[in-house]
Amino acid sequence: MEFTLLANAAIAAFAGWAMLWWEGRRGNADRCAGSLWDTALIAVIVGIFVGRLVEMMINGVMPWLHPGDIVLVRAGISTMGATLAAVGTFFWVSRREPVAMADGISAAALATLSGWHGGCAVRGACLGTVSDLPWAIAQEGSAVTRHPVEIYAAMLFAAAAVGLALWKAYGRPPAGVPASLALLAAAGIRLITEPIRPSLGGGPVWFYVLGIVVGAVSAVFFWLRSRNPSPEPQTP
């Protein structure tokens, strides 16, 4: 039996926790770091679970007939299913202050994705399309070298996470902008790495494009709103 999916999830969770801890030590989101971690952990668990169920059903495997396959790496996880479930769960749990919580978790979310993609090492699933580049890697038993596409994604997500965390700590961006930029970065990184991923039918490119559009539009909206705040109501 192969439980590498659980190890992959543990790496992703640790990366997110480490980013929250690092931000907290710099006075960023330190007042709600514990709440952010709890909320994010719930969202990640629900997202992975739902994404796994969706992927199983897409591949014709009914979860209620093969419950053991939920924790086994058979066909991966549905990106769309996991993302929608995780985001929906996060906003439902943090519905009292969704913008502040989303901003607080933005860098940690990118770090979590970095850990998830970097966890390909424990699953043996880092390789993409054929490549002759010097750093291309050959699968064991094969002479064909391939792009380490998951390592590319992990590095890009890590850079985006650190950059956003530093901006939040020292630039004090307007409320809503960090979360918007995190969405834009996540969708953009997935989109630019999609062409070198091994896939029979192609990834949900439209889903990534939608994420870029929503992230960009919401970032502009929150930025403009910060420059033109609503006037305070007059007391009679």
Is residue 235 situated within a structural domain?
no
pTM, two decimals, is 0.83
Per residue in 81-120, pLDDT (tens digit) is 888 898 899 989 888 888 988 999 999 999 999 998 999 8
Domain span at residue 119?
4-227
Beta strands in 125-229 (DSSP E): 137-138, 145-146
Is the model's pLDDT at 186 over the cut of 60? yes
Is residue 95 situated within a structural domain?
yes
Per-residue pLDDT band for 199 (boundaries 50, 70, 90) equals low
- Residue in 202, 201, 163 with CA at minimum distance from that of residue 184: 163
pLDDT for the residue 30: 46
**Whether 116 contacts 8, CB under 8 Å:** yes
Q: What is the mean pLDDT of residues 36-44?
A: 84
Q: What are the tokens at 28?
A: 């960023």
Per residue in 12-24, pLDDT (tens digit) is 889 998 998 888 7
Cβ-Cβ contacts under 8 Å for 1 (sequence gap 6 or more)? 68, 72
* Number of Cβ within a 10 Å radius of residue 35: 16
Percent of the chain with pLDDT over 90: 39
Is residue 170 situated within a structural domain?
yes
Is residue 8 situated within a structural domain?
yes
Q: Which range, of 19-28, 67-76, 80-89, 183-192, averages the lowest pLDDT?
A: 67-76
User: Look-up: residue for tokens 């062409």?
Assistant: 195
Distance CA 236, CA 199 (A): 64
Is residue 136 situated within a structural domain?
yes
Q: What is the mean pLDDT of residues 43-71?
A: 73
Per-residue pLDDT band for 229 (boundaries 50, 70, 90) equals low
DSSP state of 138: E
AA identity, residue 185: A
Is the model's pLDDT at 1 over the cut of 60? no
Residues 192, 10, 85, CA angle at the centre, nearest 5°? 60
Is residue 11 situated within a structural domain?
yes
Buried b (16+ CB within 10 A) or exposed e, 65-89: eeeebeebbeebbbbbbbbbbbeeb
Q: What is the mean pLDDT of residues 53-77?
A: 67
Number of folded domains in the chain? 1
Distance CA 73, CA 2 (A): 7
pLDDT for the residue 211: 94
Cβ-Cβ contacts under 8 Å for 208 (sequence gap 6 or more)? 187, 188, 190, 191, 194
Is residue 233 situated within a structural domain?
no
Helix (H) or strand (E) holding 27, with range, is none
pLDDT for the residue 236: 47
Contacts within 8 Å (CB) and 24+ apart, 131-134: 131/196
Distance CA 103, CA 181 (A): 10
Is residue 181 situated within a structural domain?
yes
